Amino acid sequence: MGAPYTSEIKRKNEESHFPYWFLYREKFVSNKKPGKPKSLLKQSLLIFAALFIGTGVLLIYIVFHHSGSGSFTDDFKKTDGHTLVENGWLLRSEDPAYWKKKDTVPGELTLYTLKGDNWPDPTERPDIKNLLLRRITSDCFTAEVHLDDFVPAQEWQQAGILLLEDTLLTGKSIRFTLAFNDNFGGNKMPSEIYVQAISSLGNGYGKPEELAHKTLFYLDSIRNNPLQMKNLLNSALRIEKRGNRFRFLYSGGATENGAFREIASQYLAIKPKYIGIFAIKGFNSSAVILARFKLFKLTADECN
């Protein structure tokens, strides 16, 4: 109608007499015809309302399904690139040679303990090859991964969950992994397979903090009792976030229904925006082994 711009306060105080709405309405009143046009207008309004609601539902589905927000489960029955993108995954730092072997075991996502780390290091650039990320939009959530017979056996081989504030590996992060360790700072101790949680404030903010270190097996005890290795047939890692409180839980056993038990609980000033699954071996010459992921689950929870 060519109405000049005005604020709501100014309109109420100074310009309430301007009859723009009435002029607009009068166009329809003066052209109104009895009978059928009224029915057509009603039908048009109903069709418009249905299209509006349908479009809204579709947009909500796309936002929540494709952006990785809210609750999501992936059993990795399909691991082709198109399906992963459709499921909201973002691939970072692709290593083509190993990425094309991600479906080595049908029905599972296979990652490899390639050279790399997100550990702040003055001599190495933080990098994790074939890191799969998805966005987190819920302040409170439960994240869980299940691994199929993952047995790290050389220095720093590990696989698990990574929480990040950015996708560049330069900000705050939390890492929760099933790993191998034979480095004890010169002390003589048996090599171990253990569960570890580490938080980092990012580059330039000092050393990371080890939040949890739970030894599952010492290698010398495995030699005496090889049946212990069956407990790695079905390993699972879980992180629960409620506000600033994080719980770290582990489950392992010969069957898939082993109970989770808490490894650590900590209050941390970290607000992760992304969650990732990965496998690494640090910046060393350890062998590359498979880490087969059979389930990823992210649940948006109530913060109270």
Please give, one letter per residue, the 3-state secondary structure of 71-106.
Answer: CEEECCCCCCHHHHHHCCCEEECCCHHHHCCCCCCC
Check if the beta carbon of residue 178 is closer than 8 Å to that of residue 193: yes
Judged on CB neighbours under 10 Å (0-12, 13-18, 19+), 233 is middle
| 32 & 141 share domain | no
Does 92 share its domain with 200? yes
- 64, 86, 101 - which closes a domain: 64
In a domain, 51, yes or no: yes
Could you read off the pLDDT of 171-218 as tens digits, one per residue?
999 999 999 998 877 777 889 999 999 999 877 777 899 999 999 989
**What percent of the chain has pLDDT above 70?**
87
Rounded mean pLDDT, 221-237: 87
Phi first, then psi, for residue 292 (nearest 5°) are -100, 115
- Note whether 38 and 147 are same-domain residues: no
Q: What residues make up the domain containing 47?
A: 8-64
140-172 pLDDT tens trace: 999 999 999 999 999 999 999 999 999 999 899
Segment holding 32, helix H or strand E? none
Q: How far apart are CA 254 and CA 259, in angstroms?
A: 12
Please check whether residue 1 lies inside any domain of the structure: no
Q: Work out the mean pLDDT of the chain and round it to a whole number.
A: 87
Asked if residue 3 belongs to a domain, the reply is: no
Same domain, 151 and 213: yes
Tell which residue, 133, 136, 87, 129, has the closest CA to residue 111: 129
In the predicted structure, residue 38 carries a pLDDT above the cut 90:
no
If asked whether residues 55 and 87 sit together in one domain, one would say: no
Q: Please state, as a whole number, how many other Cβ atoms lie within 10 Å of the Cβ of residue 157.
A: 26
End-to-end CA, the chain: 50
Q: Are residues 290 and 208 in the same domain?
A: yes
CATH for 248: 2.60.120.200
pTM of the model: 0.75
On whether both 18 and 90 belong to a single domain, the answer is no
Which 3-state string (H, E, C) describes 36-58?
HHHHHHHHHHHHHHHHHHHHHHH
Higher pLDDT, 58 or 249: 249
**Residues 40 and 24 occupy one common structural domain:** yes
| pLDDT higher than threshold 60 for residue 33 | no
Does 241 fall in a domain? yes
User: Taking the CB of residue 212, how many other CB atoms lie within 10 A of it?
Assistant: 17
Asked whether residue 177 falls in the same domain as residue 194, the answer is yes
Q: Are residues 134 and 21 in the same domain?
A: no
Number of domains in the chain: 2
The reply to whether 44 and 144 lie within a common domain is: no
In a domain, 236, yes or no: yes
Task: Establish if 2 belongs to a structural domain.
Answer: no
